[in-house]
Structure 1
Amino acid sequence: MKLSEYHKKRDFKKTAEPKGKIKKSGDAQHFVVQKHEASHLHFDWRLEIDGVLVSWAVPKGPSADPSVKRLAMHVEDHPMDYIDFEGTIPKGQYGGGTVMVWDTGTYMAEGAESVAESKKMLTKMHQEGNIKVVMQGEKLKGSYHLVRMSGKKEEWLLMKGKDEFATKRNFNQNSVLTGRTLPQIAKDKDSDTWESGKKAATTKSGDKNDILENVTKKKASAPSFTADDVAGAKRRKTFPKDWKPQLATLTDAVFDNEDWLFENKYDGYRALIQINKGKVELTSRNGLSFNKKYAPLVDAFGSIKDDMILDGEIVAEDAKGKSHFQWLQDYEENPDRGKLKCYVFDILYFNGYDLTPLPLLQRKRILEALLPKQESIVYSAHTIGKGKKALEKVAKQGGEGLIAKKADSVYHVNKRSKDWLKIKVTNEQEMVIGGYTEPKGTRSGFGALLLGYYEGDTFIYSGKVGTGFNETSLKELHDALKKLEVKTCPFAEKPKEPGVHWVKPQLVAQIKYSEWTAAGSLRHPVFVALRTDKKAKNVVREKPVSKKKVVAKDTETANSFDTEKVPITNPDKVFWPKEGHTKGDVIAYYNAMAEYVLKYVKDRPQSLRRNPDGIKNEGFFQKDMGGKAPKWATTRKLKSLADGESIEYLICNNKETLMYMANLGCIEINPWSSRIGSINNPDYIIFDLDPNEASIKDLVTTAKKVKEILDKLNIKGYLKTSGGKGLHIFIPVKPKYTYDQTRDFSHLISHTVHSALPDITSLERMPKNRVGKIYLDFLQNGKGKTMACAYSLRPRDRATVSTPLDWSELNGKFDIKKYNIKTVPKRVEEKGDLWEGFFEDAVDLKAVLGQLEKA
């Protein structure tokens, strides 16, 4: 292949693009997909074939959905040196604009068993116009097909093959090399192009400069983070010295779920690493200092010059990487036995900013970028979605288990949360020693330990353990127990054991066991070690929560929230007399659908529409929750536009608040279009299509016309039923424009729709002047105005739900009434959230208006 066409189009004295030449292929075939904002935004798909990058321009970019076909225009070959080109091409030059390395990696021909075979197959596939490959990128994975259209020379189709990587999810739109967005690349004043190792992605954003400017220089392959990753961090005036770690809840089974990530469960001591003004403090989960015991780690973390709080686990490993808890305990006496390490899996604080409100994946991205590369300080990696496979791997390696974590969860300081779950290969937990028996035969020290746990102030017997000891541990433990001997039994019910020495219940032992017996005793217990990081009074029986209660989507899980915090009243009260649906059905629906609803209401003021008597009357709106909301609930005071008085709004950021609202009779959930922190800047625009006695056919025609106009502007419109008779179309926008600006944009699009469909649409506000026409209600875009959120129930006949739709569902069989309290949970279980990735598609209104001006 030749590069003459590529060279002919470029003046290399003016553009920083590589001149390049044909290169001999190496041991792998590489690819790059570059996002390119030139005269129009598009993606460049480039495959290494015969020493060059064979290239296609893909206007709408690749999709992971096998049902989506993308046009791909075959363009000139590019040199292999182009594979990491990221930066700006000067105006006036061919392709002038901004280029991002959107994804890169290796690939092979589908069906090839070696790279050599793949290279031969790709040459032939390209000639025949039918390319089938398996991608191994950071974003693009699995099978993709490029097929030349019949009778066309340069027009091809790009499609995702059907495999385990097929999904309807949208891709992250940042650079895989630097983490930057296209605007950030375009604004980089330091150089025209990004070069390997030159800089990390540290574009500044407002008052978060001091977070970003402290990131050290990194290589191209090193992780980095951007201003977007720290946008939700909170400024703190003082260093938080009293924080304790978030704890996980034991679960009964492993599971696969793309919304969860899975980390190794380490067999060691949990520790917070606090670094403040150069001083390092390692503390246990109870606030005890580990500095003296694990001094080498204090020295290792001392290399970090920034203020931060990290969360991790201290372990002692053998040469094969297997941890030994006993070695860790005895480290001061035997510092040469094993390697002392700290696996770090979270960052809570950095240089004056509280990072706990950020989603977990963002925190881990920041952590990986900041953590120093040392043998004793290890970043805890994770896998997403595939818990079963991860647990199999851990079991083969002799590991303890996994910690499953919700990928979008915030960090709950000093709380046990179901956002983190413990999944163990073998059962293991702490027990308190309440006594010991006399030894028999040749055994020294004692025979068995009598174990127990607490329920409140009651100390409950859980059996005895007589294995897992050696001569040294028998002697040391016996010496410690003799000092704690008492005359009376500490257990609530005295165990029927002969020759028992009772002790004060102060020592905590780590115990392995197979299961709990029906009588409440440990079966096949084995002593592991004493623990000094946990108080005896805090030892309770860990009861596995069913993973179905955490990730299930049916309405059978009405009790999986904290009913002590949110007591339920009158669950049998009938809210829909005709259908017989009750208040309890509303609560069960929102409990089952919480993970979907919360995404669209988080951090938004709520206007509570309460229907305490069901749908038999209109109910009433309640905005001011001052002095009415429970103490644990989040509220925010905002000034009323009408009279300037402060109104204390409820903010629904968790399931308990959602359940509280449901128990108040809030059938419908009505959030603002903007969030706390950017309250004057909405992050979506609403098109409310109100039929006002018009036909379903006209409603569908109008919705499709809105989509047609948005498509021309490269804007993705998200469709849902109103839950009544109409349809809603939402556009996610970047929260930097005012309500007036978003309303003006909605008016502009609505006016365009009305001009195209004057006979069936109307912009008239008065219902009597638009009977039989679709009202294009752009006035819903105003500060303080609310709209039923995605998956909200409506106080209407049939208990309908405002349900996200796929545009293909607007067909001859479309029935707006079939989406209700009973059908939607099952629908979501089958189809997932059709609005997944909504906020990642946020558009910049200024750029869109610029397109309109050029049109």
Structure 2
Amino acid sequence: MRSRSKPLLRDDQIAKSAPRKTRDPAQPNLPFDAIPDRIEPALALLRSKAPSGSDWTFEVKFDGYRVAVHIEPNGIRILTRGGHDWTSRFPTIAEAARDLGVGSAILDGEAVVLDNRGRSDFSALQRSLGGRGGKRVSTEAVFFAFDLLYFDGHLLTNTELSVRRHLLTDFLDGATGAIQLSEEVDGDGDKLLETARSHGLEGIIAKNRESKYRSGRTGDWLKIKCVQSESFIVVGYEQSSVARGGIGSLLLAARHGNEWKYVGSVGTGFKERDAIDLKRMLDKLATKSPAVPMQGKRLVFSQPTLIAEIDFRGWTTDGHLRHASYKGLREKQDNASVYEFLNEE
């Protein structure tokens, strides 16, 4: 069995948040709120530099599927970012939620699969679920909770993050099973990012301590990545008689207004099994009308349907990805956002 050690950053110059005091049980009698059917998630804005100042707290950026765990009187629901019910896909997380002993709660966080060094691995998560469109359940997945949106009959979205984290820490601190706490880390954001890079992590998330929970990309949460990673649409592939699986590279595009813009190809990162599955799916989507203008003898064009997660090191002057590497396909239910060029780009 894989290690489930927490993917924490360890650096003598960066101190972990001081332990919180136990919540005072003598609370005022607040009116009870009905548990929401779903809460649209708060999203992080991409920034190249970490913010500074005491208003910000930091966490590890996970590389998995954003989900919300609903603990309700009638049972457990695990919802994807797009609102699809994936309870059956994450049975160990659902079981761990039942064992928390909480009457009602909504936990916001990320479902991940950890490698043997305790780092989240998107490709491993995809394999555990059977790939895009797969029906397999993942018993390896771990849910890292980083926010508490509803608890014990009270809606917390209008409460400051510092208070929500206090409550979340109260009943998850020390948990080591399929549901764990995403640890907060205090320290200088730039040093923290450098430590994350040295550990081979995805990046860090910065959050405003006093912010309320607001859906969408409001700027209350920021993501700073060690390696750039974005979602692109697959518009075809280059045939290969040498590469195993018959795919030499995938052809990628990004949104540009109401059209697609070609951003180059990716020929590394997928194994033979990945290439075979990709070719089978793309051949079913084959079309003679490419989504972006291009020509080539060995190119097979496909309808712009499949969304691939790609690591890359930057952009060339002509708008193509540099040193791109394939990580896996995003599920439609994940509601992943395809990279979009701004008008000035």
Output the TM-score relative to the length of structure 2. Answer: 0.85
* Alpha-carbon shift at residue 482 of structure 1 (Å): 1.0
Provide the residue aligned with 2:115 in structure 1.
318
Name the counterpart of 1:501.
300
**Could you tell me how far 1:431 is from its partner in structure 2?**
0.6
Q: What is the number of equivalent residue pairs in this alignment? A: 321
**Is 1:515 paired with 2:338?**
no
Aligned to 2:168: 367
Q: Distance in 2 between matches of 1:428 and 1:318?
A: 19
The residue type paired with residue 322 of structure 1 is R
Quick one: which of 125, 128, 144 aligns to 1:331?
A: 128
What SS is found at the alignment partner of 2:340?
coil
Counterpart CA distance in 2 for 1:336 and 1:356 is: 31
Q: Aligned partners of 2:245 and 2:27: how far apart in 1?
A: 66
Instruction: Please name the residue that 1:423 is paired with.
Output: 224
| Correspondence 1:303 to 2:99 | yes
Aligned residue for 2:268, secondary structure, equals coil
Gaps of 5+ in 1: 1-135, 140-174, 180-200, 209-234, 544-855
Q: Which has the larger radius of gyration?
A: 1
Aligned pair in 2 of structure 1 residues 374, 485: CA closer, same or farther (>3 Å)? same
Please tell me whether residue 485 in structure 1 is matched to residue 282 in structure 2.
Answer: no
1:391 Cα deviation (Å)? 1.3
In the alignment, what sits opposite 1:351?
A: 152
Q: 1:385–1:314: structure 2 CA closer, same or farther, 3 Å change rule? A: same
Q: Is the 8 A contact 2:91 2:139 kept in 1?
A: no
Relative to structure 1, is the Cα distance of residues 138 and 310 closer, same or farther in structure 2, using a 3 angstrom cutoff? closer
Report the CA distance shift for 1:485/1:535 in structure 2 as closer, same or farther (over 3 A).
farther
Checking the alignment, whether the CA contact within 8 Å between 1:280 and 1:302 is kept in structure 2 is yes
User: Structure 1 residues 363 and 176, CA, compared in 2 at 3 Å: closer, same or farther?
Assistant: closer
From the superposition, tell whether residues 374 and 441 of structure 1 become closer, same or farther in structure 2 (CA, over 3 Å): closer
CA offsets 1:52-83 (integer angstroms, 9 cap, x no match): xxxxxxxxxxxxxxxxxxxxxxxxxxxxxxxx
The answer for unaligned runs of 5 or more in structure 2 is 1-14
- SS of 1:345's partner is strand
Task: For 1:380, give the aligned amino acid.
Answer: S
Q: For residues 300 and 278 of structure 1, do their structure 2 counterparts lie closer, same or farther at Cα, with a shift above 3 Å needed?
A: farther
Return the offset for 1:365. 0.5
Contact 1:511–1:527, Cα closer than 8 Å, also in 2: yes
- Separation in 1, partners of 2:17, 2:92: 36
**Greater relative contact order (CA < 8 Å, ≥ 6 in sequence):** 2
Q: Which amino acid letter does the alignment assign opposite residue 198 of structure 2?
A: K
1:193-272 aligned at under 5 Å gives the runs 201-207=24-30, 235-236=32-33, 238-272=34-68
Aligned ranges for residues 413-452 of structure 1 at < 5 Å? 413=215, 415-452=216-253
User: Residue 409 in 1 paired to residue 205 in 2?
Assistant: no
Alignment of 1:41-120 (within 5 A): none
CA displacement, residues 263-319 of structure 1 (integer Å, 9 cap, x when unaligned): 100111111111211411111111122222221111111223321111011111123
Distance 2:87 2:21 in 1: 38
Counterpart residue type for residue 95 of structure 2: D
Q: How many angstroms does 1:371 deviate by?
A: 2.9
Map of 1:396 onto structure 2 = 198
The secondary structure found in structure 2 opposite 1:252 is coil
Distance 2:195 2:225 in 1: 13
**Alignment match, 1:459:** 260
* Contact 1:318 1:338 (C-alpha < 8 Å) held by counterparts: no
Question: Which residue is equivalent to 1:586?
Answer: none
Residues 418, 498 of structure 1: alpha-carbon distance in 2 compared, 3 angstrom cutoff: farther
- Match in the other structure for 1:379: 181
- Relative distance call for 1:367 and 1:535 in structure 2 (3 A) is closer
Q: Which aligned pairs between 1:753-764 and structure 2 lie closer than 5 A?
A: none
Structure 1 SS opposite 2:53: strand
Note if contact 1:512-1:528 (Cα within 8 Å) is conserved in structure 2. Answer: yes
Whole-angstrom CA distance in 2 between matches of 1:338 and 1:322: 17
CA contact 1:258–1:385 (8 Å) conserved in 2: no
Amino acid at match of 1:483: K
Task: Render the CA deviation track for 1:157-185: whole Å, top value 9, x for unaligned.
Answer: xxxxxxxxxxxxxxxxxx96545xxxxxx
- 1:479 shift after superposition: 0.8
Deviation by residue 1:419-447 (Cα, 9 ceiling, x = unmatched): 11110011111111011111143543212
Distance 2:195 2:185 in 1: 12
Matched residues in 1 for 2:276 and 2:128: separation? 18
**Is contact 1:319-1:338 (8 Å) kept?**
no
Mapped contact 1:509–1:528 kept (Cα < 8 A) = yes
Q: Supply the distance in 2 between the matched residues of 1:506 and 1:138 (Cα, whole angstroms).
A: 43
Cα distance, 1:137 vs. partner?
12
Counterpart of 1:522 in 2: which secondary structure?
coil
Check whether the contact 1:244–1:272 (CA below 8 A) recurs between aligned residues.
no
Contact 2:253/2:261 (<8 A) preserved: yes
Deviation at 1:457, TM superposition (A): 2.7
SS in 2 for 1:258: coil
Q: Distance in 1 between matches of 2:256 and 2:166?
A: 39
TM-fit CA distance, 1:387: 0.9
Q: How far apart are residue 255 of structure 1 and its match?
A: 3.9
3-state secondary structure, aligned to 1:478: helix
User: What residue is the counterpart of 2:88 in the other structure?
Assistant: 292
Residue in 2 aligned with 1:282?
78
Change in 2 beyond 3 A, CA 1:283/1:336: closer
SS of 2:30's partner is helix
Residue in structure 2 matched with residue 524 of structure 1 by the alignment: 323
Q: What is the Cα deviation at residue 474 of structure 1? A: 0.6
Q: Residues 137 and 324 from structure 1, CA distance in 2 versus in 1: closer, same or farther, beyond 3 angstroms?
A: closer
Structure 1 residue 332, shift from structure 2 partner: 4.2
TM-score by length of 1: 0.36
Question: In structure 2, what is the Cα distance between the partners aligned to 1:508 and 1:498?
Answer: 24
Q: What code does the residue aligned with 1:254 have?
A: A
CA separation of 1:466/1:319 partners in 2, compared to 1, >3 Å: closer, same or farther? closer
DSSP-derived class of the 2:63 partner? coil
Give the residue type in structure 2 aligned to 1:386. Answer: D
Matched residues in 2 for 1:391 and 1:353: separation?
Answer: 35
> 1:137 & 1:327 partners in 2: Cα distance?
28
**Taking structure 1 as reference, are residues 520 and 442 closer, same or farther at Cα in structure 2, changes over 3 Å only?**
closer
Contact 1:257–1:385 (Cα < 8 Å) also in 2: no
Q: Is the 8 A contact 1:409 1:419 kept in 2?
A: yes
**Equivalent AA in structure 2 for residue 402 of structure 1:** I
Percent identity between matched residues is 31
Corresponding residue SS for 1:322: coil
Q: Output the CA distance in 1 between the equivalents of 2:244 and 2:317.
A: 31
